[in-house]
Amino acid sequence: MAHVISDDCINCGACVGECPVEAITEGDEKHVINADTCTDCAACTEVCPVEAISAE
């Protein structure tokens, strides 16, 4: 199960550096997690300032 980023994302990029498998990329209006790459480690959820990341 991968994590997903909701529309609450403020596109700050805090999560990008926390992802050990580089599954998070910047989208047009929010960051996006590649479900095929995500290992469900949840490291990104701890650094998101607006709690926009959750388990799918």
What is the model's pLDDT at position 4? Answer: 97
Domain ranges of the chain: 3-55
Nearest Cα to Cα of residue 31 among 45, 51, 10: 10
What is the model's pLDDT at position 1? Answer: 77
Query: What is the distance between the alpha carbons of residues 53 and 15, in angstroms, rounded to a whole number?
Result: 9
- pTM reported for the whole predicted model: 0.90
Give tens-digit pLDDT for 1-56: 799 999 999 999 999 999 999 999 999 999 999 999 999 999 999 999 999 999 98
Q: Which two tokens stand for residue 47?
A: 């650094």
Topology at the third CATH level for domain 3-55: Alpha-Beta Plaits (3.30.70)
What is the model's pLDDT at position 56? Answer: 85
